[in-house]
Amino acid sequence: MKNFLMRATAIAGVAMPMAMATAPVSADGVVNLFHRSAAESAREPRMAMWNHCADQLGIEIIENFSPPEQYEVQLPVQLSSSTPPDIYALWAGGRAQFQAETGVIHPLEAIWDDVRNNFPAGIQATSTEPDGNVYVMPTTFQPNVFWYNVAIFEENGLEAPETWDELLVVAETLQEAGVTPFALGASSGWEPLFWFDYMILRVAGSEFRNGLMAGTESYLDPQVIEAMQLWGSLLEEGYFLDGFSSMGWREMATNVMNGEAAMEIMGPWTAGNFIRSGWEPGVDFATFNFPNINPDIPDAVEGAVEGWAASGAGENTENALAMLACISEREPQEQFATIAQRPSTNVDIPVTIYEPASIQPIIQSFYDMLDAPFHQNLELATHPGVTEVAKREFPRFLVFPDQYMDVLERLEERRLDVFGG
């Protein structure tokens, strides 16, 4: 039996040390496709989606792929070459914006109005860049939420908190019971970014956070300082497990399962760890969204939306746009989601395709989140130069929370470097 989150973990975490070396070609009825799905568990669902559209449109796919780590290095080289791919895997956000500035990506304005209603409002908003254009056709989304140990909560008479004050009560109660409230690692640098994103969204709101990611707002703004102070207060209270630098997302999940910590913020892939260990969704583990801090600020969700883009200099742009429009539709996305067991962005995909049935309420809660703005996480949302500093400085902040102004000053310096004053 397929399992949504076990399959998703395999897709997220497995990469074979190989690359398909087919050279791009130009011909009628052809598209050159480049992606980062070298592992067959990741490649199969994506190519099922693409092959459906290729058959429907009578277009031949010339496929080229690399493992994820190599893909990130090879993509800029391919896009700047004389024979760039017609279609390639990409996230909306900072990388797409940077590519738009250099002209290597093609806007989707010719097709977007015809297909936008295939997506919920939250996905539409995430896909629209600050310049008003859409560059990436979304196919799957992964919200970052709190995952918690149900037994620990029940043993301590706790319910999922909805406000910051309730979260503080939960944390204090757990600490008094000898359980560390939060697991948070930093071995890869990106894990703490989820906390920062949510602190900004809950203190300053979506519009400000969009400006911060786009470089038009300052990391020294009083609202950012307030967010860091609140986050730092949790660290100073000892509410996080020690050992940040040696803990990654897998270790975070393990600490929640063994009771060393009660909860973590992570994406849907983390549940594969729980399920493989015999935990039942909704019985042994459950989720809740990051609690509200300011009741006057509307709710918002942070995570990742994955999709596909067209090259700004591809030789088969018309075919590429036709294929991108096709993958927005229910049938190809349902084929992808059924095999991959990952949440699809198409609004008409039934939650019943996900297995086991006990995971479906959690997945439905993910879809319900799309009524609110959905934000790409910092690593995907802002300029790569800012991301580089953030992945270095936030892990340091976890150890030295009193040095939060140093962190913000370094981020502000880089913001000014890459975006200008």
CATH for 64: 3.40.190.10
Statement to judge: residues 255 and 400 lie in one domain: yes
Is 366 in the same domain as 399?
A: no
Q: Judge contact between 340 and 322, C-beta under 8 A.
A: no
pLDDT at res. 302: 95
Q: Is residue 354 part of a domain?
A: yes
Q: Which domain holds residue 125?
A: 4-143+302-375
Question: 122 versus 398: which is more confidently predicted?
Answer: 398
The upper half-sphere exposure of residue 370, i.e. CA atoms within 13 Å in the direction of its Cβ, equals: 24
- Asked if 105 and 310 touch (Cβ cutoff 8 Å), the reply is yes
pLDDT value of position 306: 94
pLDDT band at 76 (very low <50, low <70, confident <90, very high): very high
CA distances from 348 to 167, 329, 334 (A): 34, 9, 9
Q: Are residues 50 and 120 located together in one domain of the fold? A: yes
The token pair that represents 285 in the structure block: 């583990």
Task: Look up the pTM and report it.
Answer: 0.90
Do residue 215 and residue 100 come from a single domain?
A: no
Instruction: Give the Cα separation of 109 and 214 in Å (integer).
Output: 21
- Specify if 109 maps to a domain: yes
* Same domain flag for 189 and 257: yes
Backbone angles phi, psi at 153, to 5 degrees: -60, -45
22-36, 144-158, 174-188, 196-210: lowest mean pLDDT where?
22-36
Task: Supply the DSSP symbol for 136.
Answer: E
Asked whether residue 103 is domain-assigned, the answer is yes
Dist CA 353 CA 380 (whole Å): 28
- For residues 10 and 104, membership in a common domain is answered with yes
The pLDDT value recorded for residue 9 is 46
Q: pLDDT confidence of 291, banded at 50, 70, 90? A: very high
Per-residue pLDDT, 68 = 87
Q: Are residues 223 and 203 in the same domain?
A: yes
pLDDT of residue 28: 64
Number of domains present in the structure of the chain: 2
pLDDT at 151: 98
| Residue-level length of the chain | 421
- For residue 11, pLDDT over 80 is answered with no
Classify residue 247: in a domain, yes or no: yes
Instruction: Please report where in the chains the tokens 């390639």 appear, as a residue.
Output: 88
269-278 mean pLDDT: 91
3-state helix, strand, coil in the chain (%, to 5): 50, 15, 35
* Cβ pair 192, 395 in contact under 8 A: yes
**Residue 292 resides in a domain:** no
Instruction: Please report whether residue 244 resides in a domain.
Output: yes
Residues 161 and 190 in one domain: yes
Shared domain check, 354 and 217: no
pLDDT of 21 above 90: no
Q: Is the pLDDT of residue 299 over 50?
A: yes
SS3 377: coil
Is residue 327 scored above 70 in pLDDT? yes
Q: Is residue 24 part of a domain?
A: yes
Asked whether residue 120 falls in the same domain as residue 154, the answer is: no
Mean pLDDT of the chain: 92
Quickly state the pLDDT bin for 15 (edges 50, 70, 90): very low
Regarding whether 116 and 34 lie in a shared domain, the answer is yes
Residue 25 inside a domain? The answer is yes
Same domain, residue pair 255 and 345 = no
Calculate mean pLDDT across residues 302-318.
Answer: 96
